[in-house]
């Protein structure tokens, strides 16, 4: 700690950070937030670049939180976040996790607007997948595969044919993974025709139909079999993954 911090410099920086977070965290993330930050910086006589990376990230993450709280990310909001990141002199690798979260949020926004994504054919998740003619893979996520005889009353959110997905309805549920048998790992593919699991040694699929027994959780998907249950636990660690899959299945199962 330097002499400046001992005699009030640190306190002034802290006050500036709180004011900056208030600027980006109030109301919608509209155009001009980056400019408001610049004006605040000039008025306070503070340069955010002089602050520690961790503390500059606090301001950026507060801005991102404003968009996440609304459950969507528009082109204008994405552009404004890029300006804020530039103003705070944060490299992409310094906010990598946050930017991945934004990518998922952007994907979710597009799906809700009726624009379904498509996974590139060269993606590693599709390696060895046996797709049918005209079948499109809209989303892929790495999963741990588990087997469990019962749900112990933790049934998750039923994915019903012809029914919309209720936003955030799966976030509060977690897979009944305790005591489940580990089967392996693989990739869960959400295609235009089915839910497809590409496992380490074999694959399986559930065709979309009114009879499909699929259940969504904040951390995975459960497939109800005639006897027992297959649990697919997301390895992404993001709550947005369940939201994306919920919205996609609602769009495809009809």
At 120-177, the pLDDT tens digits run 999 999 999 999 999 999 999 999 999 999 999 999 999 999 999 999 999 889 999 9
Distant-in-sequence, close-in-space partners of 199: CB < 8 Å, separation ≥ 6: 145, 183, 184, 185, 186
pLDDT in tens, 29-71: 566 777 776 776 766 555 555 456 777 888 888 888 877 777 7
Task: For the beta carbon of residue 126, count every other beta carbon within 10 angstroms.
Answer: 18
- Mean pLDDT is highest, among 5-9, 21-25, 108-112, 244-248, for 244-248
Residues 6+ apart with CB under 8 A from 11: none
Domain locations in the chain as residue ranges: 3-112, 124-252
pTM given for the model:
0.74
Q: Which residues contact 100 (CB under 8 A, 6 or more apart)?
A: 238
Which residues in 49-193 belong to E strands, given as ranges?
137-148, 157-158, 181-191
Architecture of domain 124-252: Roll (2.30)
Which of 66, 136, 57, 146 lies closest to 98, judged by CA? 57
pLDDT score recorded for residue 97: 83
Poorest-confidence range of 19-23, 68-72, 226-230, 241-245? Answer: 19-23
* The pLDDT of residue 6 is above 50: no
What is the pLDDT at residue 186?
96
User: Are 243 and 101 in contact, with CB atoms under 8 Å apart?
Assistant: no
């Amino acid at each position: 700690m330097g002499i400046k911090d001992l005699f009030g410099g640190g306190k002034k920086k802290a006050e500036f950070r709180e004011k900056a977070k208030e600027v980006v965290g109030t109301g919608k993330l509209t155009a001009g937030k980056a400019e408001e930050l610049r004006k605040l910086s000039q008025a306070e006589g503070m340069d955010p670049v002089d602050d520690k990376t961790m503390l500059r990230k606090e301001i950026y993450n507060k801005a991102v939180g404003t968009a996440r709280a609304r459950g969507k990310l528009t082109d204008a909001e994405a552009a404004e976040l890029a300006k804020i990141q530039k103003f705070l002199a944060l490299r992409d690798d310094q906010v990598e996790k946050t930017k991945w979260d934004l990518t998922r949020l952007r994907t979710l926004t597009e799906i809700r607007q009726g624009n379904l994504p498509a996974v590139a054919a060269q993606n590693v998740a599709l390696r060895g997948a046996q797709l049918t003619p005209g079948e499109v893979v809209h989303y892929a996520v790495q999963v741990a595969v588990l087997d469990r005889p019962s749900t112990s009353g933790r049934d998750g959110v039923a994915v019903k044919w012809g029914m919309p997905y209720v936003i955030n309805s799966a976030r509060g549920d977690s897979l009944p993974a305790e005591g489940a048998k580990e089967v392996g790992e693989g990739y869960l593919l959400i295609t235009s025709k089915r839910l497809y699991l590409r496992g380490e040694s074999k694959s399986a699929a559930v065709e979309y139909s009114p009879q499909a027994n699929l259940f969504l959780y904040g951390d995975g998907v459960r497939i109800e079999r005639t006897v027992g249950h297959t649990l697919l636990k997301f390895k992404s660690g993001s709550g947005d993954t369940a939201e994306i899959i919920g919205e996609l299945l609602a769009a495809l199962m009809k």
